[in-house]
A and B are shown apart, each in its own frame.
Chain A
């Protein structure tokens, strides 16, 4: 009974829905809006004195990722009426901000992550120069932000030019620019793209071994360049690494600075370890150590084994000491435990 009723109902609904060959409503809307906004000179003077340019480039919009999917009012609800109601924004920043929420309705996850970013914190603190969605992605001309991959650092460089220049000269930046190498990190690989944390905090510094370790422990990726994946483990096993590890796990803020990857290797200006300018080159190492250990004598850098595992060739004394205890401890404790057990056994036997 119910079944026989449902089938014709579905048929009716299908017949009532607009036919697939009808004109695209989004395109109709675009045509309507562009009849005014296609005018390159269309602008509006805001009460603060700034001028909002209201022209939309049709070609750029149609090429954008949204071009074939969205009409205008999808992002600009409340503008169906013509003429539009007056916009309350006093300046451009407020004008842009008034459309911010529109991204959220589709891009909820990234929007929420961006709320945790240092950029949003700056915005909230009143810094209107801090970027949010459209400042990095563009507005009507949004295309894939990572095509080509160099575009990412270009995007960041529009504000962070000093860092971008340093990066361009670094081992990572050069490989990216010269060969579009997919293995080297761009800005967002270390800093994240939406949940960009404040890189000036101690927590960020202490996290950097993990950040670098993400790639530098990847055997397949490092193998291509003959790089050791032991750098992370050997760092952790030394004094700095274990301190950083314990510091990052504790609730209280650390009182002392402990060296992490970037303190010796540099941050945006990381060089190849065998490059003349490298901070970790043997002849530069004393100066690098002295940044934290003022007055470090010439013998001091040798205290750091340069990520090498102690072996009979490298740091033989360290290797021998470790081996000595590796043998002594089990022999000693095993021997003593055995004697305790023998003593107990004798007591029991003699009872």
Chain B
């Protein structure tokens, strides 16, 4: 989150170079040279984190230490259709989710693919000379356009989708602590991930009828493992 903020603050003035605020931000940071320096340091750290994550997940998956619960399945698509149908009043019941619902998977994969795009295009823009020794020069403006737009999209996704789902949504307001503690209340678990609850407890899953607290509101938190 820190790196993302640094990258956004040092990146957007370069995208929106003609806006008045871009100059204000550049001056506040201490000039374009420092803005670029910070952007590159943060970018390299972000790349390292991304590569580390991919390697860690791949290793764990190969060692069968983690389940493939984040992998999108056909069920996610039918869930999404059912959930939206339910929002619109077309489906009778909301979709029942497992360990990760389609929205979480969407955000995770969106973020992962987006990060890869940013890392690769960022490196191309950082090292244009070595890059053009092998690849055609036209790919550099391609990388610039992609980097700039992908960054904007990531930022917009974060401020609409992530901030809502992890902070502002009435289900989690003001802050979803689950990602850090790995803990979630049984009622929320029942409400949001009934299939995973059923898998953990061995009880049959029953669909959550509506939003808001369920009847057994004082149920103790259930450990859901580390996300």
Interface residues of A (CB under 8 A from B): 236, 238-239, 242-243, 245-247, 249-252, 254-256, 293, 295-297, 299-305, 310, 315, 317-318, 321-322, 325, 328-329, 332-333, 336-337, 339-340, 342-347, 349-351
Q: Of A251, A333, A336, which is in contact with the most chain B CB atoms at under 10 Å from its CB?
A: A336
Q: Which residues of B contact A315 (CB under 8 A)?
A: 138, 141
Q: List 12 A-B contacts (CB under 8 A).
A: A251-B27, A255-B33, A302-B132, A302-B137, A303-B137, A322-B145, A333-B153, A336-B157, A337-B160, A340-B165, A342-B88, A347-B171
Q: Would A325 and B26 count as touching, CB distance under 8 A?
A: no
Contact partner of A256 (CB less than 8 A), chosen from B33, B89, B103, is B33
Q: How far is the CB of A342 from chain B (nearest CB, A)?
A: 4
- Cβ of B32 within 8 Å of any chain A Cβ, yes or no, is yes
A35 to B216 alpha-carbon distance, docked (Å): 119
A305 to B145 alpha-carbon distance, docked (Å): 13
- Cβ of B92 within 8 Å of any chain A Cβ, yes or no, is no
Q: Would B31 and A254 count as touching, CB distance under 8 A?
A: yes
Query: Which stretch, B14-22, B39-47, B57-65, B195-203, touches the partner chain A?
Result: B14-22
Q: Would A318 and B138 count as touching, CB distance under 8 A?
A: yes
Q: Which residues of B contact A304 (CB under 8 A)?
A: 137
- Cβ of B217 within 8 Å of any chain A Cβ, yes or no, is no
Q: Would B150 and A246 count as touching, CB distance under 8 A?
A: no
Q: Which residues of A contact B153 (CB under 8 A)?
A: 325, 328-329, 332-333
A347 to B32 alpha-carbon distance, docked (Å): 46
A297 to B131 alpha-carbon distance, docked (Å): 9
Write out, one digit per residue, whether chain B residues 135-166 have a CB within 8 A of any chain A CB (1) or not (0): 11111111011100110110011001100110
Q: Would B133 and A347 count as touching, CB distance under 8 A?
A: no
Q: How far is the CB of A83 from chain B (nearest CB, A)?
A: 63
Q: How far is the CB of B154 from chain A (nearest CB, A)?
A: 10
| With A300-B132, A303-B141, A318-B138 as contacts: A336 and B26 at CB distance below 8 Å | no
- Cβ of B129 within 8 Å of any chain A Cβ, yes or no, is yes
A-B contact count (CB 8 A): 138
Q: Which residues of A contact B174 (CB under 8 A)?
A: none
A338 to B136 alpha-carbon distance, docked (Å): 40
By beta carbon, the residue of chain B nearest A317 is B142
A252 to B26 alpha-carbon distance, docked (Å): 10
Q: Would A336 and B137 count as touching, CB distance under 8 A?
A: no
Q: Would B87 and A343 count as touching, CB distance under 8 A?
A: yes
Q: Which residues of A contact B211 (CB under 8 A)?
A: 346-347, 350-351
Contact partner of A346 (CB less than 8 A), chosen from B87, B137, B152, is B87
A300 to B153 alpha-carbon distance, docked (Å): 28
Q: A246-B13, A321-B145 given. 5 additional CB < 8 A pairs?
A: A246-B14, A250-B23, A254-B31, A296-B129, A347-B212
Q: Would B32 and A254 count as touching, CB distance under 8 A?
A: yes
Interface SS of chain A: helix
- Cβ of B48 within 8 Å of any chain A Cβ, yes or no, is no
- Cβ of B128 within 8 Å of any chain A Cβ, yes or no, is yes
Q: How far is the CB of B84 from chain A (nearest CB, A)?
A: 7
- Cβ of B77 within 8 Å of any chain A Cβ, yes or no, is no
Q: How far is the CB of B66 from chain A (nearest CB, A)?
A: 27
Q: Would A318 and B142 count as touching, CB distance under 8 A?
A: yes
- Cβ of B86 within 8 Å of any chain A Cβ, yes or no, is yes
Q: Would B146 and A252 count as touching, CB distance under 8 A?
A: no
Contact partner of B161 (CB less than 8 A), chosen from A250, A317, A336, is A336
Q: Would A246 and B146 count as touching, CB distance under 8 A?
A: no
| With A303-B132, A340-B164 as contacts: A325 and B88 at CB distance below 8 Å | no
A3 to B59 alpha-carbon distance, docked (Å): 108
8 residue pairs, one from A and one from B, having the closest CB atoms: A302-B137, A325-B149, A303-B140, A342-B87, A252-B31, A303-B137, A299-B132, A242-B17
Q: How far is the CB of B54 from chain A (nearest CB, A)?
A: 23
Write out, one digit per residue, whether chain B residues 85-99 have a CB within 8 A of any chain A CB (1) or not (0): 011110000000000
Q: Would B129 and A300 count as touching, CB distance under 8 A?
A: yes
Contact partner of B141 (CB less than 8 A), chosen from A254, A305, A328, is A305
By beta carbon, the residue of chain B nearest A334 is B160
Q: Which residues of A contact B103 (CB under 8 A)?
A: 339
- Cβ of B221 within 8 Å of any chain A Cβ, yes or no, is no
A300 to B141 alpha-carbon distance, docked (Å): 11
A322 to B210 alpha-carbon distance, docked (Å): 42
| With A246-B26, A328-B153 as contacts: A295 and B129 at CB distance below 8 Å | yes
Q: Would A299 and B136 count as touching, CB distance under 8 A?
A: yes
Q: Which residues of B contact A340 (CB under 8 A)?
A: 160-161, 164-165, 169
Q: Which residues of B contact A347 (CB under 8 A)?
A: 170-171, 211-212
- Cβ of B30 within 8 Å of any chain A Cβ, yes or no, is yes
Q: How far is the CB of B86 from chain A (nearest CB, A)?
A: 7
Q: Which residues of B contact A303 (CB under 8 A)?
A: 128, 132, 137-138, 140-141
Q: How far is the CB of A309 from chain B (nearest CB, A)?
A: 11
Q: Would A318 and B145 count as touching, CB distance under 8 A?
A: yes
